[in-house]
Structure 1
Amino acid sequence: MAAALLQHHARGAVAVHSAGSAPAEMINPAVVEAMAELGLDLSREAPKKLSTEAVEASDVVITMGCGDACPVFPGKRYLDWELTDPAGKGVEAVREIRDDIDRRVRELLAELVPTS
Structure 2
Amino acid sequence: MTSQPTVLFVCVHNAGRSQMAAGYLRQLAGDRITVLSAGSEPGDKVNPVAVQAMAEEGIDISQAVPQILTTGAVQESDVVITMGCGDTCPVFPGKRYEDWALEDPAGRDLDMVRGVRDDIKKRVQALIEELAG
TM-score (norm 1): 0.95
**Partner deviation per Cα, 1:31-57 (whole Å, 9 max, x = no partner):** 000000111111111111111100011
Distance 2:25 2:46 in 1: 17
**Pairwise CA RMSD:** 0.8
Residue 68, structure 1, aligned to residue 75, structure 2? no
Residue 21, structure 1, aligned to residue 44, structure 2? no
TM-score (norm 2): 0.83
Residue 109, structure 1, aligned to residue 128, structure 2? yes
Identity %: 56
Unaligned runs of 5+ in 1: none
Residue 58, structure 1, aligned to residue 77, structure 2? yes
- Count of matched residue positions in the alignment of Structure 1 and Structure 2: 114
**Number of the residue aligned with 2:25:** 6
**Partner deviation per Cα, 1:38-97 (whole Å, 9 max, x = no partner):** 111111111111111000110000001112111111110000000000100111111100
Residue 46, structure 1, aligned to residue 88, structure 2? no
Which of 115, 118, 128 is equivalent to 1:96?
115
Q: Secondary structure at the match of 1:16?
A: strand
Runs of 4+ aligned residues of structure 1 deviating over 6 Å after TM superposition are: none
Distance 2:46 2:111 in 1: 16
Unaligned runs of 5+ in 2: 1-19
**Number of the residue aligned with 1:78:** 97
**One-letter amino acid of the structure 2 residue matched with residue 78 of structure 1:** Y
